[in-house]
Structure 1
Amino acid sequence: MSKDTNRLSLGPLPAASSVKLTITLSADLKAQLDAYADVHARLHQVPVDAVALVPHMLAAFITRDRGFKAMKTKHTTRPLV
């Protein structure tokens, strides 16, 4: 299986309404998010910072989480969300 070095898991960022949420990250994770933001900005040719990426990364994670999907399907009478 070859790796495509011109792709990231997170594609271009869509515009969306937002709700403010405050989180605390380790310094290492913040540095990794900043590095990811730099690569994302170069790849998509749109300036972006880590703060703008976090909601999209979380949404992508939840969308791809098979266990969460299974639990949501199992609890159709009482939604988890």
Structure 2
Amino acid sequence: MADIKLPQLPDRTPVKLTISVMPDLHQALTDYAALYARAYGRDEPLADLIPAMLTAFLDSDRGFSRSRAKP
């Protein structure tokens, strides 16, 4: 094994999830996508926005972050 600084990259294989949402949540997500398009000048599909939204939410949840850091 070579002695290099960069560690082996983690598994980056996407995991596909299928979910059902209530109509009001779907509308809110659609509205968010429209706001995103106005803010950044490009349309992004909900399937691309939702993972980014979930990541941002989890990253901002301090209680969740603390609980994951505990052994």
TM-score, length-scaled by structure 1: 0.66
Point out the structure with max Rg over C-alpha: 2
Higher relative contact order (CA 8 A, sep 6+): 1
Distance 1:68 1:61 in 2: 10
Gaps of 5+ in 1: 1-15, 76-81
TM-score, length-scaled by structure 2: 0.74
* Displacement over 2 Å in runs of 4+: 16-19
CA RMSD between the two structures = 1.7
- Tell me which protein shows more helix as a share of its residues: 2
Aligned mate of 2:64, from 58, 68, 77: 68
Gaps of 5+ in 2: 1-11
Distance 1:47 1:18 in 2: 22
- Aligned to 2:15, what secondary structure does the other structure show? coil
